[in-house]
Amino acid sequence: MHYRRQRRTPATSSGVVSLDLASEAPSAAETLAVAENYRLLHGALLELPLKYRTVVLLRYFEGKSIEQISTITRRTEGTIKSQLHRGLARLQTALERLGVAPL
């Protein structure tokens, strides 16, 4: 009950609201770094065999569930899970080869 009550209490703010949106905008260097990381990820995805690329794209870029991917590709859920695992492992290897450090 203690945790349930804590969830219901609204968080109080300090009353100070910053409206300086310019400081929250990404800098040119940050934008360039994001674009470079996207380019490297895109290249690494293209290196994957089609069966792995398909499940990775459906799962992480289109937000599909394992069940939905199974229906789309007409494969069993176990096959989708194993292909997803192998695809992510190959993607990580490709990104490490390109010099992108894992998180």
Q: How does DSSP assign 32-56, residue by residue? A: HHHHHHHHHHHHHHHHS-HHHHHHH
* Per-chain mean pLDDT for the chain: 83
Domain-located, residue 97: yes
Q: Which pTM value belongs to this model?
A: 0.67
Flag whether 25 is in a domain.
no
How many domains does the structure of the chain reveal? Answer: 1
Share of the chain above pLDDT 90, in %: 50
At 31, the pLDDT band (50, 70, 90 cuts) reads confident
The pLDDT score that the predictor gives to residue 59 is 95
Q: Give residue 27's pLDDT band: very low, low, confident or very high (50, 70, 90).
A: confident
Whether residue 11 is contained in a domain is answered as no
Statement: residue 92 has pLDDT above 70 = yes
pLDDT digits (tens, 9 = 90+) for 47-83: 999 999 999 999 999 999 999 999 999 999 999 999 9
Q: Is residue 69 part of a domain?
A: yes
Domain contains 55: yes
Under a CB-based contact definition with an 8 Å cutoff, are residues 64 and 58 in contact? yes
| Cα–Cα–Cα angle for 17, 22, 39, rounded to 5 degrees | 125
